[in-house]
Amino acid sequence: MESSLYPLFSSTSSSSSSPPLPQAQTPKTSYQSPCAACKILRRRCANQCILAPYFPPTEPLKFTTAHHVFGASNIIKSLQELPESQRADAVSSMVYEANVRIRDPVYGCAGAICYLQKQVVDLQAQLARCRAQLLAVETQHAQILTLFYKDMDFSSLPQLPHNSPSAALNPFEGLDDFLLDDNSHGTIREETLWAS
């Protein structure tokens, strides 16, 4: 009797009724966020929107900048005239040029290119000056070595027989003794720092 009066709470009715649908099986809506271009232009973003792949909804400033300089119709026309493989590069170029044109309304990209070319010329001139200085130092070093060897007294060097194999291998053998000799001209005498 109680089961007939309260069918919702009876054990028989709960077992016979179908279980509720789990939340995972609820139908999903096919709502898609419009691209940044359509959102800014306040129009409906179609499935085949030509601007959607290049102006995602997360980057609205990208389209705003390009639209401010070129206009939406010119951007769309330019993309329609290009093959799909070149459109991404074209959009990147337009966005870059728009950013530069906003910073420099008179010269735009030409001003940036001229500035970079001037930097290249300045750096090439600086490199040429450094190479000239390096050549001058190398020449001066060679002249000092020539004068040093010209003024040295090679007569006091120990004479080696001409057929000695060490003379052919090391023609400056014995030069250390000459430089450390106290009686030779223009010599260098080693002195220790810790000599008492």
The answer to whether 37 and 64 are in contact (CB under 8 A) is no
72: closest CA among 109, 102, 42?
Answer: 42
pLDDT at 125: 97
**Close Cβ partners of 80 (under 8 Å, ≥ 6 residues apart):** 50
Cβ pair 55, 36 in contact under 8 A: yes
Q: Please report the DSSP string for 39-76 in residue order.
A: HHHT----TT-SSTTTS-TT-HHHHHHHHHHT-HHHHH
Give residue 171's pLDDT.
53
Each of the 196 residues of the chain gets a pLDDT tens digit; together they read: 444 444 444 444 444 444 444 444 433 333 368 888 888 888 888 888 888 888 988 888 999 999 999 998 999 999 999 998 999 999 999 999 999 999 888 888 888 899 999 999 999 999 999 999 999 999 999 988 888 888 776 555 556 555 555 555 555 555 555 445 444 444 444 444 454 4
